[in-house]
């Protein structure tokens, strides 16, 4: 069922379409410990507030190399 709760309490179907809003639009994953969504490319972090992902770059916590930057040269 599409409304089944997935990671961070978000519907599993939502995880199929969520992506980092930076120009590279990389996929994201859940950080269950921090309760955040994390870009797989740049490690930028997005909060989930009241069950709603806040996928706004101006409210995100940039990854180590900045928003959109690859984690390492091979990424």
* Stretches in the chain below the pLDDT threshold 70: 1-4, 72-75
pTM across the whole model: 0.86
Q: Where are the domains of the chain?
A: 7-59
Taking domain 7-59, whether its CATH number is 2.20.25 is answered by yes
pLDDT at 1: 45
Distance, CA of 61 to CA of 46 (rounded, Å): 7
Structure tokens at 46: 């997005």
Give me the pLDDT at residue 74, please.
55
pLDDT of residue 75: 45
61/35 Cα distance (integer angstroms): 13
Backbone torsions φ then ψ of 53, nearest 5 degrees: -70, 130
Across the strands, what pairs with 36? 31, 47
């Amino acid at each position: 069922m599409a409304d089944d709760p997935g990671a961070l309490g978000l519907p599993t179907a939502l995880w199929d379409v969520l992506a980092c809003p930076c120009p590279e639009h990389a996929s994201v994953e859940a950080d269950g410990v921090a309760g955040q969504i994390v870009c797989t490319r740049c490690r930028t972090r997005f909060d989930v507030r009241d069950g709603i992902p806040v996928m706004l770059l101006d409210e995100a916590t940039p990854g180590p190399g900045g928003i959109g930057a690859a984690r390492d040269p091979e990424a």
